Structure 1
Amino acid sequence: MGLEITLLVLFSAVIHSIWNIQLKKSNDPITYIIAIAIVGWVIFTPYAIYKLFNSTISTETYLFTFSSFLIHFLYFLFLGRAYSKFELSVVYPIARGLSVFLIPVYGILILNEQMTLQAIFGCFLIIFGIIMTGSISIGDLKTKEKRKLFLKSGAFSAILIGIIISLYSLVDKKAASGIDPFLFVWLTDTSAVILGIKFFRNNNFRNHFTKENIKLIIPGVFQFSSYAIVIYAYSSTMLSYAGTFREIGTAFGAIFAKIFLKEVFGRKKTLGILLIVSGAFLISIF
């Protein structure tokens, strides 16, 4: 990838990790993720409306955008529920790790992209690194009882989220070159606005806006902007590269979880972070 795209995706990964930490810290992740998406949507509405009426967008691009909009319904619901019930150190690594595996597969088999051997090796380093940063080991899967406990720990929800992430990444790539990235995110995040109507009578949801409205601004902007930056990257480079490189955010997520959530940070997690960074480096230079 070029230096500009590398730096942009790196910045996107940092701010994405920050708003994910805020999501995990909230007392009701389901309503919180919807609330910050709505705040970002409102802030960028003037720009999006201007672009909507001053851009030429093909029917095909609108169809892909609408598909992403539908998939994001599932994303907001599953991510919020998973974070409200399970450890970030289980959900985040599995979800992101599975999506990292599937994204290059989609890129090669569906989009006919070609990756260098070094970049493919980098993808595998990131996958293994993501798994190591979570509380996951082969011992979790050795017996039927352990597999059941593993799934109950949030693994099944994380797998669903990983599939959802990979699917909207594929659809996003197909739409990216035909639409302004901030307009695209505004259209897809309309799903959060509709979900907000559903949660309007929820006390936690309303408290976000009545008691924490100012605190929602930065996470809202970060959620919106981190996504828009990735859409821009998709329009400029291959899905296999940008979609995988952005998962360096898992390393930032693990570090921030240690600092802000006091999660355990041992040798295994440290090695996982080093693998992620090494894999991202290989992708960025090859």
Structure 2
Amino acid sequence: MILINSVLQIFYYAFLGKAYKLADLSIVYPLARGSAVFFIPLWGVIFLGETISSSATVGILMVFLGLIFISVIPILSNKLRVNRNLLVGIFLSILVGLNISFYTIVDKQAVSSVHPFVYPILITIGGSIGAILFTGSKSKINDLKIEFKKNYSSVLLGSSFMYLAYSVMLYALNISRMSYAGNPHVN
């Protein structure tokens, strides 16, 4: 499970990074998160046999539609021109959402055998090794070293909060249905 999640994390960062290069944050982020909100309960029902209450279904759909609507506003208001980069960015954003939903399934299965506060450390190690191999560029690795030396306190603080937030979400996955815990907006 750790290896699968590590590979999915590498693709997550690759797709997300490319989407941010091609399309605006106001489109990429809501689409990535919004599509994940849709896919996670779908996979919970299909693959894990979970059931979703009608009120939770309404809540999930409202969050999903709201996030999609937010991402479409810049396009409808003509603040962004529709072009190939934007369309590829939208496609990559949806791939990010799919990726989030896939690693949420893996997370749900993994936390039944690995403690939710240990698991993120293991996948971070695996994902980091994979990212280094994936980038394969000494200049990019040196850029990371320089950034860390320059902003180590911010990097450590942000990393700590990210670890804590992810661990809490994993704990919720361990005690709840993936369809709900993977969508903190509808709990």
TM-score under structure 1 length normalisation: 0.57
Partner Cα separation in structure 1 for residue 83 and residue 56 of structure 2: 32
Q: Distance in 1 between matches of 2:67 and 2:92?
A: 17
2:108–2:170 contact (8 Å) kept in structure 1: yes
Matched, 1:201 2:136: no
Q: CA deviation at 1:147?
A: 7.4
> Structure 1 residue 158 and structure 2 residue 61: aligned?
no
Query: 1:180 — aligned with what?
Result: 115
**Which of the residues 213, 222, 225 maps onto 2:152?**
213
The 5-angstrom pairing of residues 266-277 of structure 1 reads none
Aligned to 1:272: none
Whether the 8 Å contact between 1:107 and 1:240 is mirrored in structure 2 is: yes
Q: Does 1:98 align with 2:35?
A: yes
**Which deviations, in whole Å up to 9, do the C-alpha atoms of 1:105-163 show, x marking residues without a partner?**
111111111111001000000101111222448959xxxx95746414x2011011111
Partner residue, 2:8: 71
Could you say if the C-alpha distance between residues 207 and 83 of structure 1 is closer, same or farther in structure 2, counting changes exceeding 3 Å? farther
Is it true that 1:191 corresponds to 2:126 in the alignment? yes
Change (3 A) 1:122 1:219: same
Equivalent in the alignment of 1:261? none
Cα distance between partner residues in 1 of 2:39 and 2:164: 24
**Separation in 2, partners of 1:78, 1:184:** 23
Q: What pairs up with 1:1-286 in 2 under 5 angstroms? A: 64-136=1-73, 146=82, 148=84, 150-152=86-88, 154-194=89-129, 195-196=131-132, 198-202=136-140, 203-245=142-184, 280=185, 283-284=186-187
Contact 2:40–2:104, Cα closer than 8 Å, also in 1: yes
- Percent identical pairs in the alignment equals 31
Give structure 1 stretches of 5+ with no counterpart: 1-63, 246-279
In 1, distance between residues paired with 2:111 and 2:86?
A: 37
| Distance in 2 (alpha carbons) for counterparts of 1:83 and 1:222 | 23
Q: Which amino acid aligns with 2:28?
A: V
Alignment gaps of 5+ in structure 2: none
Alpha carbons 1:103, 1:243 under 8 Å: kept: yes
Give the match for residue 267 of structure 1.
none
* 1:237-269 C-alpha deviation (Å, 9 max, x unpaired): 000001122xxxxxxxxxxxxxxxxxxxxxxxx
The offset of 1:82, in angstroms, is 2.5
* Alignment correspondent of 1:273: none
What SS does the corresponding residue of 1:201 show, helix, strand or coil?
A: helix
Alpha-carbon distance in 2 for matches of 1:213, 1:150:
34
Give 1:191 shift: 3.2
Instruction: Note closer, same or farther for the CA distance 1:135–1:183 as it changes in structure 2 (3 Å cut).
Output: same
Number of equivalences: 180
CA RMSD of aligned residues (A): 2.4
The alignment's TM-score, normalised by the length of structure 2, stands at 0.85
